[in-house]
């Protein structure tokens, strides 16, 4: 499968007429191929974008999928992708693209059209977290760990209805020692176990973070910019476990998991997600 990663958004550049310049930037998942084109904001539309992508695909083999991390880019690129018969997917996991965009900042600063404004090419506006829908609440939840060397054996071979274990996030492929404790959160969903797992599948979990506050909270990062409040608590022991959970995430290189199961017996699992935010 040939994968491209693309971004189409305004840059810290203005042309001689004072118009903000947008840039289409494309790279492949290996970073070996790149393409870029600038467009004044008044010309930003599907026709311009379609003409650019048509130029690119006539010069090289078209991709199977184009990955996009920016919500503002997704709809335009998805519309053009449909016209070209190319699937466009929204995902936060576009590491090569984000690295290339960071590298381009120095090029913007040397460009005659540079505005001098502070600029972070991968920053996104994120809405405040909202509570998880009440009809999804399970019976209980808790922090947990599993050794990196056992993780794939325990979950990959089990008949789990919803299973998300991308190859690039497997401990072996991340170079994690087998004895590293991979932290996670286990939710006993009870009768709502499958309902919760299906909702999570649609929401596309990215990371699950402990956030200290008043009260403390467990926040799910999902989709491109969505955030959900999974739980809030004021218990000191739970807060201490939350801080340890975050420490273990640092030790595992950010790798963690979310497990939904019917009950605490652990005989059957409903959904499992390997998570790692960039």
Residue corresponding to tokens 């963690």: 256
Q: Which residues pair with 140 in a beta bridge?
A: 188
Domain 3-110, CATH among 3.40.1020.10, 3.40.50.720, 3.40.50.300, 3.30.420.10: 3.30.420.10
Residue corresponding to tokens 């919500």: 71
pTM of the prediction?
A: 0.86
CA dihedral 185, 189, 193, 199 (to 10 degrees): -60
Q: What is the pLDDT of residues 190-226, one digit of tens each?
A: 889 999 999 999 999 999 999 998 898 999 999 999 9
What are the boundaries of each domain within the chain?
3-110, 130-275
Q: Distance between CA 208 and CA 257 in Å, rounded?
A: 8
Contact yes or no for 256/246 (Cβ under 8 A): no
DSSP string, 8-76: EEEEEEE-TT-PEEEEEEEEETTSS-EEEEEEEGGG-SHHHHHHHHHHHHHHSPPPSEEEE--HHHHHH
Lowest mean pLDDT among 67-81, 152-166, 213-227, 236-250: 152-166
pLDDT at 214: 83
Contact yes or no for 163/112 (Cβ under 8 A): no
End-to-end CA separation in angstroms for the chain: 23
Q: What is the pLDDT of residues 74-103, one digit of tens each?
A: 999 999 999 999 999 999 999 999 999 999
């Amino acid at each position: 499968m040939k994968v491209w990663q693309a971004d189409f958004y305004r840059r810290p550049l203005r042309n001689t007429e004072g118009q903000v310049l947008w840039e289409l930037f494309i790279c492949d998942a290996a970073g070996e191929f790149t393409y870029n084109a600038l467009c004044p904001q008044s010309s930003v539309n599907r026709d311009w974008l379609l003409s650019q992508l048509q130029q690119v695909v006539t010069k090289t083999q078209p991709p199977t999928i184009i990955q996009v991390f920016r919500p503002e880019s997704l709809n335009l690129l998805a519309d053009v992708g449909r016209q070209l018969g190319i699937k466009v997917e929204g995902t936060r996991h576009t590491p090569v693209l984000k690295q290339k965009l960071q590298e381009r900042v120095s090029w913007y600063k040397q460009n005659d059209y540079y505005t001098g404004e502070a600029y972070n090419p991968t920053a996104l506006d994120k809405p405040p977290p909202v509570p998880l829908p009440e009809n999804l609440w399970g019976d209980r939840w808790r922090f947990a760990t599993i050794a990196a060397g056992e993780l794939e054996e325990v979950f990959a071979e089990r008949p789990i209805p919803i299973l998300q274990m991308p190859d690039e996030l497997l401990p072996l492929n991340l170079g994690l020692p087998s004895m590293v404790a991979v932290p996670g959160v286990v939710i006993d969903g009870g009768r709502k176990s499958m309902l919760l797992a299906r909702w999570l599948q649609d929401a596309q979990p990215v990371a699950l973070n402990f956030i200290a506050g008043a009260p403390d909270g467990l926040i799910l990062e999902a989709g491109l910019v969505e955030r959900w409040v999974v739980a809030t608590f004021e218990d000191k022991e739970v807060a201490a476990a939350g801080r340890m959970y975050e420490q273990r995430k640092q030790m595992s290189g950010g790798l963690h998991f979310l497990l939904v199961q019917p009950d605490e017996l652990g005989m059957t699992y409903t959904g499992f997600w390997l998570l790692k935010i960039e």
